[in-house]
Amino acid sequence: MNKAKHIAIIMDGNGRWAELQGKKRVKGHEEGAKVVKAITTYCSHSKEIEYLTLYAFSTENWKRPRLEVEFLMKLLDNYLKKELQTYLELNVRFEPVGDIRAFSKSLQKTIRMIEEKTAHCDGLVQYLALNYGAQDEIIRAVNKLKNIEGNITTEMLSNQLDCKHAVDLLIRTGGDHRLSNFLLWQSAYAELFFTETLWPDFTPKDLEKIIKKFTKVERRFGGLK
């Protein structure tokens, strides 16, 4: 049976969820933050899941209206501060992936503070993808290696990425079937699951069902069974 050691999720559908309820798009993000907590809690109780990577803000999301971007920044800052205790109680280590230098100094400070305060936690690792784009991540990794003599190996490049773990199970909510520049290197052999469910409606039960299906898939990693 397959083990879902690393689960990665593209949390899509917040805006549509809100619009369907006649609410402003940002209400969907607010609701989405609650689901982040519920799914992280669920994963922290699993013996098998070691890493949970959540796509919270992409390098392309800056193209959204200024007010929505500002709302997302504030929501993230509030979430991290408010949930520090939860991270500690659940023994979850928080780590950002992505280039957070683009964020305000105060948000960077919050991110670093939560990272430091949870550094000793040895349960689940929650990676939040923040100002993250897989192409940007790969380019930053290549640039770190550019002065090295000789050929660059797969392992050398992997070691310079923000997220160093291969993804086992990649889930996208919200009905679209695309990767949107998320963990392209790490998902080389990931099993992909797409669900119509909008992120604010996604529950630990939904995740449990997907994991169950995932455990039965035959993974060959390019070889033969």
Catalytic machinery residues = 12, 61
CB of 13 to ligand FPP, least distance (A): 4
The CA distance from 13 to 197, in Å, is: 8
Closest CA to 185 of 152, 214, 215, 162: 162
Q: How far is the CB of 132 from ligand FPP (least distance, A)?
A: 11
Angle between helices 105-117 and 66-90 (to 10 degrees): 10
Q: Which DSSP string corresponds to 9-70?
A: EE---HHHHHHHTT--HHHHHHHHHHHHHHHHHHHHT-SS--EEEEEEEETTGGGS-HHHHH
Q: In the bound complex, which residue of the shown chain has the CB atom lying closest to ligand FPP?
A: 15
- The footprint of ligand FPP on residues 73-132 (CB under 6 A) is 75-76, 79, 128
Span of 8-16, 42-50, 86-94, 95-103 interacting with ligand FPP by CB under 6 A? 8-16
Stretch that binds ligand FPP, among 27-35, 86-94, 137-145, 154-162 (CB under 6 A): 27-35
Which of 199, 207, 210, 214 touches ligand FPP by CB under 6 A? 199
Position 172 contacts ligand FPP (CB under 6 A): no
Q: How far is the CB of 72 from ligand FPP (least distance, A)?
A: 6
The stretch near ligand FPP (CB under 6 A) out of 12-20, 106-114, 163-171, 205-213 is: 12-20
Tokens of 218: 């035959």
Residue 36 touching ligand FPP (CB under 6 A): yes
Question: What is the DSSP track for 131-162?
Answer: EE-HHHHHHHHHHHHTT--SPPPHHHHHHHSS
Contact assessment for residue 191 and residue 168, using Cβ atoms and an 8 Å cutoff:
yes
Q: Rounded CA gap, 130 and 196, in Å? A: 24
Tell me which of 174, 190, 191, 214 binds ligand FPP, using CB under 6 A: 174
Tell which residue, 162, 46, 164, 184, has the closest CA to residue 111.
162
What phi, psi does 8 have (nearest 5°)?
-125, 140
Closest approach, Cβ 89 to ligand FPP, in A, equals 18
Here's the x/- map for ligand FPP, 126-165, by CB under 6 A: it reads as --x-------------------------------------
Using CB under 6 A as the binding criterion, the count of chain residues that bind ligand FPP stands at 18
Residues that bind ligand FPP (CB under 6 A): 11-16, 29, 32-33, 36, 56, 61, 75-76, 79, 128, 174, 199
